[in-house]
Amino acid sequence: MTSKDIQEYRTYIKSLFNYMVKNGYTLRPAPKFVLNDEYQGGGLFVPTAHYNPDTKVVTIYTNGRSIVKKDPLRSCAHELIHHKQNLEGRLNKDAYNGDEITQDDKLTELEREAYSDGNLAFRSWTEIEKRKPK
């Protein structure tokens, strides 16, 4: 990833974050954002992003992702919902049991919220961004 790509992602991440805060998402204090361009392996099952509730770090994996740059940003919106859940105390170690939704209904609900709310926030943000003059 070039330094221009990194700066462009950082600009869009900041814009997305600010949009979500402005629209009522509790995201402050802000998490730290890490763009990881290293090859992760795993083919279809490669991670796309990750949120660490202990360190409040959102890692976005960019290597091998869609050439459409908004794909990693969609993952960012999803992880920001996990950050919100963490700030609300819903990601503590008693909130769910394990890392697989097939084994944990509580985790399924947390993920459902992240997919739904994250994608809706992302879609709204993209619609507003497209209307901005270039």
Residue 66: predicted pLDDT: 57
Residue boundaries of the structural domains of the chain: 3-131
Sign for the CA dihedral angle at 17, 19, 20, 21 comes to: positive
Mean pLDDT of the chain: 89
pLDDT tens-digit series, residues 123-132: 999 999 999 8
Rounded-to-integer distance, Cα 17 and Cα 76, Å: 9
59 or 2, higher pLDDT: 59
Q: List, for residues 91-117, the tens digit of each pLDDT value.
A: 887 777 767 777 878 889 999 999 999
Average pLDDT, integer, range 13-29: 97
**What is the arithmetic mean of pLDDT over 68-73?**
82
Q: Which residue, among 75, 89, 86, 66, has the nearest Cα to 16 in the 3D structure? A: 75
CATH for 3-131? 1.10.10
